Structure 1
């Protein structure tokens, strides 16, 4: 029941509410048994036990860049002490509406992921690489990127551009902190660049059409990011989501 998987029906505590957006149920896309993940979490960032459940507005597939879209992607954490039971999908989630997906089992393996040295969120000095080193590193990045690239933690494989500064910008526009709404565009950009390094990739979910009927945009990927301070507090309520595609 509590095994890691994509799609299907989630295992949830009785007290957990199914996430909704403007009266519509969000699609259940993935659940992770953290005890299965823990042996591969070399940095110990995630809770060693419990479950993470991911929900998303799969029917309309928001990009995540609009502050008004906050709440259309939700992550719930269920501590190990919680008793779980399979929760049937709400009636408004159907395969015909592309809001329900067949279950697909997951397995885990460690991998080495490489940061992009040209990521404007985490800039390096211009002389950090020689031309030969730059070419060699670029080749390594190309060999790292493959089809079906989904992962927890690590470095993101960006299909369009860096996201950390966008995460910080989205957090600064959170309606629960109205004082940040008074920032000028220049101040908001400076704040985002300053806070970019505080964000951790939580989940990168590729388009797994064959396995789970999931297609994000045009062969795209979903990215869920979390502030490191929130992750340390086991607070998954402020996760930021983006969709990128070709």
Structure 2
């Protein structure tokens, strides 16, 4: 497989052969991140051939008659701006076919006709980035507000629901630790809690990979939690008093591109003093923006769609009242104008559902034994945002037994999107 870094060492024939191999391998790839990487390699091959041929792509021209029709079609597209007549002749001939390649060729002709009217994408002027609004950056520029107190929670529930239901919900309330995004601090110690960027890991550690073709893909580093930062917060006693929790996930899975792409890895290292920053083994096709973290204690109630509370309601009126309480508790202390722009990531507590009950909980024989370890929501670091698919959240779940035994590698993963 021709690497983009060593293309200059190949002669023209080898470059063309690398292009053919790239196109043929691309058709077999099921992993979106791996497919994007393959497309990046293809563009690098084309750029090198253009550089050598003065932009004519002459060494690639024989592929317009290649026996592999997909290679022929793909090569024709490369000539769309260089020799439109050659592109059109090759693609029109393929479009006569009544099979998949014929349909793709007809699509190419339609797209080209539109581009001739509206302009080719490569000629578009890139838009200037829009600076983030004050609403987007409010959270990372302000300290976290305190969560609702036990007394305030009791008063809120009691003012909306009957006494019996109030007592049930107070028993269901769980302490959780809110993750409050902050702007990344240049030069911060390697072992601080943070999201994105590069992980702090043991020197002999191997990066977790996802099986893919033509080569395995590195998981994305999602974030790390230094448990020392949590001490004194309600709920932290359920986690180690020190050490580093580090979370990774398949790019296809955590971005919502492939709901079957659930490969994740969770590591726990007791000694944080010897951890070193580790870069990706190959450039990631997706990037997780680095973000600082601070923490706040919160009291968490079951989401209104959780089966833990849905069975309590005899009518819709009571359910609606509970939804009001739930939102008030969740958004406590955050100015109304900024709530919709805030991240509500957390450790422990109850999953905040995007849809209905999590499948891992719904089909668990004893759902009380499976609980939230970490929920990651969208966040903004003051310069850029990170999103997990459209309106998505990532959930790492763990059993009571595994949490007590510090078997964090046994976490199960789920994603929900809008």
Q: Larger % of strand: which?
A: 1
Shift of 1:124: 6.2
Shift of 1:207: 1.2
Q: Deviations over 1:85-141 (max 9, x none)?
A: 111222231xxx22x223211000101111136523x36655x66766433222112
2:209 aligned with 1:20, yes or no?
yes
Find the residue that maps to 1:52 and give its secondary structure.
strand
Distance 1:59 1:134, change over 3 A: closer
Distance 1:41 1:17, change over 3 A: farther
Q: Deviations over 1:27-73 (max 9, x none)?
A: 1010110000132143611111000011112245376864xx45x11
Match of 1:238 among 375, 398, 410: 410
State the match for 2:235 in structure 1: 42
Find the residue that maps to 2:254 and give its secondary structure.
coil
User: How many residues in Structure 1 have an aligned counterpart in Structure 2?
Assistant: 213
2:249 aligned with 1:56, yes or no?
yes
2:342 aligned with 1:155, yes or no?
no
Match of 1:225 among 393, 397, 415: 397
d(CA) in 2 for partners of 1:204, 1:30 = 11
Q: Deviations over 1:132-182 (max 9, x none)?
A: 64332221123326531111111111011112xx3268xxxxxxxxxxxxx
d(CA) in 2 for partners of 1:134, 1:217 = 29
Distance 1:11 1:203, change over 3 A: same
Q: Which has the larger radius of gyration?
A: 2
Give the TM-score of the pair, scaled to structure 1: 0.76
Distance 1:37 1:123, change over 3 A: same
Q: Is the 8 A contact 1:206 1:221 kept in 2?
A: yes
Alpha carbon RMSD of aligned pairs, Å? 2.6
d(CA) in 1 for partners of 2:404, 2:207 = 24
Give the TM-score of the pair, scaled to structure 2: 0.47
Match of 2:269 among 78, 88, 99: 78
Instruction: Structure 1 unaligned segments of length 5 or more: list them.
Output: 170-188
For residues 1-246 of structure 1, the aligned pairs below 5 Å read 1-22=190-211, 23-42=216-235, 44-59=237-252, 61=254, 66=260, 69-70=261-262, 72-80=263-271, 83-93=274-284, 97-98=285-286, 100-116=287-303, 118-120=305-307, 122=308, 125-126=311-312, 133-143=318-328, 144=330, 146=339, 147-163=342-358, 166-167=359-360, 189=363, 192=364, 194-211=365-382, 213-246=385-418
